[in-house]
Structure 1
Amino acid sequence: MHPESDTGKSTALVPRETVESIVARRAQALDLYAEAHHALEAASEALDAARTAEAALSGSANSFTFLSEKERKAFVDRLCVPPRPDFLATARRLTDIGIWGRLVELTELQRLMDKQAKDELRTQLQNEAPEATAETIYATLERFALDAGTIFRRGIANAFSSLDRRFRSHDGWKIGSRVIITRMFDDGGWWNHYSNTRDTLIDIERAFYVLEGLEQPANYGGIVGKIDAARTGGWGARQTEVESEYFTVRIFKNGNAHLWFRRDDLLRKVNKLLAEYYGEVIPHERDPDPDTGFDKVKTTPAKRFGFYPTSEGMAEDIVRNCQLYRREDQPGMTVLEPSAGTGNLARPCVKNWRAAVDCVELQDHLAAGLLAEGIYRRVWQADFLAMRPDPDKLYDRIIMNPPFDRERDIDHVLHALRFLKPDGFLAAIMSAGTEFRETKKAVHFRALMAEKRARFSDLPAGSFAHAGTYVNTCLLRVYADGRTVPY
């Protein structure tokens, strides 16, 4: 199976005759366990009878038998046989765990799975291994076949973002092919296992081998093995330089390392896979935008209007941390949600915090849906960037999930700040690239946010998977007056 192939065209990861053989042997094993339980029960009853007969002969312990009493008790101790339903359930679970583990080995899935995917599978098997019937095996393998490409692409995304946080951004590759890794080795000159860079390098190298259709050698034959070999015989902080087909690594005495990717062709493939993984929210098949500053605002609608709604669970978590509390004798805060969409951020402000909420939404059918709810103070069907704030009607809070592509999120946040009261607070979901891009707009925006003591924090990976994109996001929180934002 190749990650760039259409994995949905074939689900024959394991031949049918192999699956049928596994299922037949599973049934035989479970029948033998059932017979074994009968034998264990019979043995337990026989042991009880023998112990009763022996006790009738021995009588009470005396000075002649005292030294053997401990051995006698251990020898005739009762055989502990679990109740039959518990015994057979455990036999079934352990048998099925072994079968699923074997099925992973029989397929190419293990080669395409990153550490996270493997850990998730192990956890699933330990918590609730599905019964390994022919039906469940074929259904599971079909799902794995359909998801194999996504699993592989997610593995690449996880590996590179673990290596350097800049790669949480879909356009991280525009930074260049060199990565600076801090504290790759500790003060003693050993791998820093807190950063886990060793496993990350193995994951990235595995991805490169898969992309070339090659088998990954054992760890000692890859970049990690070359680094270990180059540092063998030394101790303490020391400088090392190692080169392989895919990497050049220079390690310094302070434990930091510079890593260069040597294959531009593989970087292009990886970038393409990352764009596919992050979803069509990222228009990667286009010429780059001009490197503009704050004065160049994109007023044309985003693709799909940038509509990737916040999940209800994440929306409630964000709103909960926006300090909306008011005493019962006080009126609720005034809140604005620009680009309100389906109102997932606005709704909990009203229902949970008694806020007076205004919504702005460009798409007429979504604006109509918000209006039909009948819980918002105002609903405008309008382009938020075309609106102008009323100095007498500014807001206590602005909570927003603007369009991400082509730095539109920066344009929307900058515009939203004009609608805040002098002591107001803004929370905005933004593209992770906002923290890392070196465009003029991104650099100036980060400088402004630093002046205002704003805080960026990562949102969980896959926060927008429900909306069809795996783009990484962050949460910006800032007070208009520059107060420090709490953690």
Structure 2
Amino acid sequence: MASSAEQSALEERALGRTMINIAAAIEAGEANALMGFSSKAAIESLISELRCVETYARQAGRTLNSEAINSFARIHGPRWGLSGSSWERAVAVTEGLEGAERFRALITGAEAITGQALELMFELLGKEKAEYELGWYNVSRIAHLNRLKRAGIETDDQLKAALQELIIHREERQSECPLKAAMRKLVGRSVGIDFFPTPAAVCARMVEIAAIRQGMKVVEPSAGCGNIADAARDAGAEVDVIEISGELRDILSLKGHSLVGFDFDDFEVSAPYADAVLMNPPFGKRSDARHIRKAYSLVKPGGVLVGIASEGLFFGTDAEATSFRHWLDEVGGVSERLPDGTFMDPSLPVRTGVSARIVTIFKADDEQ
């Protein structure tokens, strides 16, 4: 749904710019064949004709140019016997009606269904029944040709001239932003290892606790789609990110983040180098406890770690949870419980109802 809306918005913007270009060209006397194209509907019909020519040219292995337009541009109405229409049935259903003889004379020997024939069928049968008898495509095609006719396009040569000028003034639809497309693909999917992105409000709170400022070196292990890294960078920090998922690494690259590692479990440095570590690690199998303890080793003396940890670490009786709590006490860490439903934020592509806390540990100036 979102992708469709995005594409529609891009189409509308391109059409709007095309209309402005055409209006300016007409005013400057540079678009004689487009003089009659003052309505959005007429320009859309002409663009539709150009797309048909593009399709024919592509199928023939040719590029869209003047030669292709001269070869493939044609004004042609829908033909009897195609797309749901039947000459014989049209005669039969109008038989006996006032005006039927005039209608029969009009269509006898005609290959194409004309706008005049359509209007007469509307008059004889009513619009709904006439559309049913002719087929929806034929009716829409005639309406399309009538729009071109009102704009002054009735012959092949007139159509070709208009298309030649349209190529000059048409604004191409821009491609969808690769980052938006990549983020949209995450919606509702299981990506990476326990990937549940951090809400913007929580990212802002983490940046505030860590007092992130210009020039600080920040590391985000298991960075996911980079919400925390984005917030730190916006605050002026230089951010290194680590992420194991190829799809999420691509998103981090599109955002311009510096990828310095693949799997945080294997990540090693010769000495602590981060002014701050901000993190939302995976929770499964107590990975959050293991990752937070390891990430603390990256923090320089006088630095800070601010991370998300599962609520289970603070009441679990298993060895991993118990050990983590003891360690947190030893290093002087504190925790702040997040409101229930924090990770159900509707703006997130993937959500979870898990309860969590923000863990904060300030490393002493003399601690290694």
- What interval of TM-score do these two structures reach, taking the shorter chain for normalisation? 0.3 to 0.5
* TM-score normalized by the length of structure 1: 0.34
For the pair shown, which has the larger CA radius of gyration, 1 or 2? 2
- RCO higher in 1 or 2 (8 Å CA, sep ≥ 6)? 2
